[in-house]
């Protein structure tokens, strides 16, 4: 923009105008305002920001947020947690019952003596020990680790060689 256009725009923004509301029948002035375009612009901007803030506040801090997709109610979260705990305990009880039934089947088939059959010993076998999990790396993982370390060393030596050549 040229300087004339900027000055023209500035003048237009700050020219004082009068907004008058008249009674149509009597042409009596009901009320009037002295305004500039800048006052109108600032008023509408602040009003818009205020409206956005109020809407955000109402949605974020009232139960209305449950009607917006993506927000879940606190009661729903609480119920989901309770159900997850309950399903985990039911799964454990099911494993224990299955182990007990397998023990009874062994006794009935004659694979195990009744005198050796003890509910506590069978249930202790179903308890999972964290040390039982196989946490050793497989051959493919070891090979991948070696390839990655070799590639890292190669990149490191290249960057050091480049730094040396840049210094010369």
Closest by CA to 103, choosing from 167, 111, 62, is 111
Predicted local distance difference test score (pLDDT) of residue 133: 53
- DSSP letters for 69-122: TT---HHHHHHHHHHHHHHHHHHHHHHHHHHHHHHHHHHHHTSS-GGG--HHHH
How many Å from the N-terminal Cα to the C-terminal Cα in the chain?
51
φ, ψ dihedrals at 102, nearest 5°: -60, -40
Answer yes or no: is pLDDT of 115 > 80: no
Answer yes or no: is pLDDT of 49 > 90: yes
Q: Which of 67-71, 104-108, 120-124, 126-130 has the highest mean pLDDT?
A: 104-108
Predicted local distance difference test score (pLDDT) of residue 119: 67
pTM as predicted: 0.42
Predicted local distance difference test score (pLDDT) of residue 127: 58
Average pLDDT over residues 72-96: 88
The first and second tokens of residue 101, run together, are 């039934």
């Amino acid at each position: 923009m040229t300087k004339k256009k900027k000055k023209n725009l500035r003048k237009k923004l700050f020219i004082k105008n009068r907004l008058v509301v008249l009674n149509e029948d009597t042409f009596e002035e009901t009320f009037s305002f002295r305004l500039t375009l800048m006052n109108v612009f600032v008023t509408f901007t602040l009003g818009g920001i205020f409206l956005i803030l109020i809407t955000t506040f109402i949605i974020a801090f009232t139960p209305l947020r449950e009607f917006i997709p993506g927000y879940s109610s606190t009661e729903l979260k609480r119920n989901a947690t309770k159900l997850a705990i309950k399903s985990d305990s039911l799964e454990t009880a099911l494993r224990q019952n299955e182990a007990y039934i397998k023990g009874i089947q062994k006794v009935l088939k004659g694979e195990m003596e009744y005198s050796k059959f003890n509910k506590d010993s069978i249930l202790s076998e179903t308890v999972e020990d964290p040390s039982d999990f196989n946490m050793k790396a497989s051959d493919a993982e070891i090979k991948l680790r070696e390839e990655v370390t070799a590639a890292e060393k190669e990149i490191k030596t290249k960057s050091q060689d480049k730094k040396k050549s840049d210094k010369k």
